[in-house]
Amino acid sequence: MTVARGRQFFQNPGPTNIPDRILRAMDRPALDFMGGEFRAIAEECYAGLRQVFKTDGAIIAYAGNGHGAWEAALVNVFSPGDKVLVPETGYFSLNWGKHAKELGLEVETLPGDWRKGVDPAAVEARLREDKAHTIKAVMQVHNETATGVANRIKEIRQAIDASKHPALYMVDTISSLGSIDFRMDEWQIDIAVGGSQKGLMLPPGMAFTAASAKALKASESAKLPRVYWDWRKLVTSNRQTSFNGTAPVQLFYGLQEAVRMLAEEGLDQVFARHAKLAEATRRAVRAWRGNDGPELYSSDPRTHSNSVTTVLMQEGHDAEKPRGIALDRFNVSLGGGLDKLDKRVFRIGHMGDLNEPMLLGALAAIEMSLLLAGVPHGKGGVAAAMEYLASEGAS
């Protein structure tokens, strides 16, 4: 058995690195979750989350994961047979749609190019056609974690407005929240879905929905069965006032620390740091593209993701080989390909608690793994990332 020394470089696109501050904050005894001390912690968490979602509206937290938040968003506003439109972006958009179908909704997928992200004009055109307003909602993934493509949420809002369609606008922010700018109120999002384990730097186990007044109104008459996720039991006057069963107390300790950390750094700085690390990653991949090597999966510069980069292998090369070497030989953990991208891509997560040397270490391990896997590629990916990061620091 080999013994690994030093920390694993964890570059998965979720869960992500948990900062020591958050680990220490959670390393505390339990607390009466019905008592005043817990209530004060929870209030600080909700206030912090409102800053992160950029909303004054209701935020509902649950013990659960992203799939739970997906379901919470659906069962609270729809009735059996309601029709929803899912712009196709990749694995996660299709799976949210599948989840809706299994709950008894009629799901229409708006076909899309996985490498480019959603065309707002296509959303507008489809909604304009729907003169009878049978489509009740647009279910949009902000950052498609499978492809490394971040959709243009504000422009899609404008497209919905231009079509004069009343559909609810639902956005999955699971791999964008706290990493890429998202503005719930300004962009008039009706429901935003989030999870703890990505930009919020927490362990998996907490799920969130943020709901507009229009969404809360829709929840009054929705008829899909709902028990655990039922907003009516959890929310009073726009605020979550109760929890179903035992609250995940230690996750709230961690969340309190996370929202403090995000506020200390400043959200704009957080987004700028993600943008810088993402651009450095892309420059490394562009250098590897030399010699007919791997390339960026995202093909439209307007929609490159700042939280995850998906790297497409050239024909005849299995992405699992360099990914396996990175893990086994260098203790660097990367994401694999999902759905039709299985073995075709590997994914470099760069969201949450990350800085330049951590990223450069991971990129160096990937460059060595490409070499050891016998994958032809251009040299100098790490050097290109270093050059960019050094010049950005100076500016």
Residues near ligand PLP (CB under 6 A): 14, 65-67, 92, 141, 145, 172, 174-175, 195, 204
Judged by CB, which is closer to ligand PLP: 65, or 314? 65
Residue 195 Cβ, how far from ligand PLP at the closest point, in Å? 5
Residue 327 Cβ, how far from ligand PLP at the closest point, in Å? 19
Taking a C-beta distance cutoff of 8 angstroms, is the pair 307, 350 a contact?
yes
Which of 324, 331, 327, 354 minimizes the C-alpha distance to 6?
331
Residue 284 Cβ, how far from ligand PLP at the closest point, in Å? 22
Cβ contacts of 390 within 8 Å, gap of 6 or more: none
Residue 302 Cβ, how far from ligand PLP at the closest point, in Å? 19
Judged by CB, which is closer to ligand PLP: 99, or 260? 99
Residue nearest to ligand PLP (CB): 66
Judged by CB, which is closer to ligand PLP: 179, or 369? 179
Taking a C-beta distance cutoff of 8 angstroms, is the pair 140, 172 a contact?
yes
Judged by CB, which is closer to ligand PLP: 26, or 207? 207
Residue 180 Cβ, how far from ligand PLP at the closest point, in Å? 12
How far is the C-alpha of 342 from the C-alpha of 153, rounded, in Å?
27
How far is the C-alpha of 96 from the C-alpha of 297, rounded, in Å?
22
Judged by CB, which is closer to ligand PLP: 172, or 356? 172
- Residue 140 β-bridge partners: 171
Judged by CB, which is closer to ligand PLP: 147, or 250? 147
**What's 304's DSSP letter?**
B
Tokens linked to 353: 């608690």
Judged by CB, which is closer to ligand PLP: 192, or 360? 192
Tokens linked to 270: 């957080």
Residue 58 Cβ, how far from ligand PLP at the closest point, in Å? 21
Residue 127 Cβ, how far from ligand PLP at the closest point, in Å? 23
Residue 181 Cβ, how far from ligand PLP at the closest point, in Å? 16
221-225: long-range pairs with CB below 8 Å, 24+: 221/79, 222/75, 222/76, 222/77, 222/78, 222/79, 223/78, 223/79, 223/80, 224/74, 224/75, 224/78, 224/79, 224/80, 224/103, 224/104, 225/75
Judged by CB, which is closer to ligand PLP: 66, or 293? 66
How far is the C-alpha of 231 from the C-alpha of 216, rounded, in Å?
8
Which of 342, 310, 330 minimizes the C-alpha distance to 373?
330
Which class for 318: exposed (0-12), middle (13-18), buried (19 or more C-beta within 10 A)? middle
